[in-house]
Structure 1
Amino acid sequence: MTAATAPPASPARASARQWLILLGLAMAGLVVAGAALGAVGFAAAGPGLLNAASAALFAVAAVPYLLKDRLAPAVNVALMAAMALGVAGLRAANPQADVTALFLIAAFAPLRPPRLALPAVALLAVCTVNVLQLGSGQTAISLILATDAGAAFFFLVGVLLRTEREQRERITGLLREVEAGRDAERAAAAAAERGRMAREMHDVLAHTLSGLSLHLEGSRLLARNTGADPRVGETLEQASALARAGLSEARRAVRALREDQVPGPELLDSLVEQHRLASTGRISFTTLGVPAALPADAALAVYRTAQEALSNVRKHAPGAGVDVQLEWQPAGVRLTISNTGSAQAPHAGTPNRGTAQAPDGGFGLTGMAERARLAGGEVQADPQGAGFRVRLVLPLPVPQGADAPPAGQED
Structure 2
Amino acid sequence: MTPRRPPPLLLDAILVGASLLDVWVKVHIDESLRLGCALVAAFSLLLRRRRPLLTFLLTLPAVLVSDAVFAALAALYTLASFTRHRALLAVCVTTFTVCDMTSWPSLHWNFAATSTLVTLGYTAATAAAPVFLGQLVQTRRDLSQRLAEISEARDHKRLLTAQAVLARERAQLAREMHDVVSHQVSLIAVRAGALQVGARDAEVKEAAATIRRLSVQTLDELRHMVSVLRASGGRPTELTPQPSLADLERLVDNSGIKVELQTDVSDDLPPTVQRAIYRTVQEALTNVRKHAPGTSATVRIRNEGGAIRATVTNTAPTRPPLPLPSAHHGLVGLGQRAALLGGTVTSGPTADGGYELNLELPAEGES
- TM normalised by structure 2 equals 0.71
Q: 1:168 to 1:366 in 2, by over 3 A?
A: farther
The residue aligned with 1:103 is 73
The residue aligned with 1:383 is 347
Give deviations 1:297-346, integer Å, cap 9, x for gaps. xxx99997775454224434653233579xxxxxxxx9x88433222259
> Which whole-Å CA distance do the structure 1 matches of 2:269 and 2:120 have between them?
78
Structure 1 segment 217-366 matched on structure 2, within 5 A: 217-223=193-199, 228-258=200-230, 259=232, 261=237, 263=239, 266-268=242-244, 272=248, 273-278=250-255, 279-283=257-261, 290=270, 308-316=283-291, 318-322=295-299, 338-344=310-316, 362-365=327-330
Give identity over the alignment, percent.
21
Does residue 1:27 correspond to 2:18, yes or no? no
Give deviations 1:84-106, integer Å, cap 9, x for gaps. 222112224x4222x22222233
How many residues align structurally?
A: 331
> Once the 2 structures are TM-superposed, how far is the Cα of residue 152 of structure 1 from its aligned partner?
1.5
Q: 1:141 to 1:47 in 2, by over 3 A?
A: same
Q: 1:392 to 1:289 in 2, by over 3 A?
A: closer
> Which whole-Å CA distance do the structure 1 matches of 2:259 and 2:179 have between them?
34
- Structure 1 unaligned spans of 5+: 1-10, 66-75, 293-299, 326-333, 347-358, 397-407
The residue aligned with 1:5 is none
> Once the 2 structures are TM-superposed, how far is the Cα of residue 206 of structure 1 from its aligned partner?
0.9
- Native 8 Å contact 1:268 1:306 kept in 2: no
* AA in 2 matched with 1:127: T
- Native 8 Å contact 1:55 1:86 kept in 2: no
Give deviations 1:332-383, integer Å, cap 9, x for gaps. xx9x88433222259xxxxxxxxxxxx975322377279869x989995422
- Native 8 Å contact 2:174 2:229 kept in 1: yes
1:127 to 94, 98, 111: 94
- TM normalised by structure 1 equals 0.64
Give deviations 1:39-73, integer Å, cap 9, x for gaps. 24499x644444444443x13422xx0xxxxxxxx
> Once the 2 structures are TM-superposed, how far is the Cα of residue 202 of structure 1 from its aligned partner?
0.8
- Native 8 Å contact 1:255 1:262 kept in 2: no
- Native 8 Å contact 1:35 1:41 kept in 2: no
> Which whole-Å CA distance do the structure 1 matches of 2:223 and 2:335 have between them?
23
- Native 8 Å contact 2:300 2:310 kept in 1: yes
> Which whole-Å CA distance do the structure 2 matches of 1:303 and 1:177 have between them?
44
- Native 8 Å contact 1:309 1:390 kept in 2: no
* AA in 1 matched with 2:131: F
Does residue 1:115 correspond to 2:101, yes or no? no
> Once the 2 structures are TM-superposed, how far is the Cα of residue 120 of structure 1 from its aligned partner?
4.6
* AA in 2 matched with 1:364: H
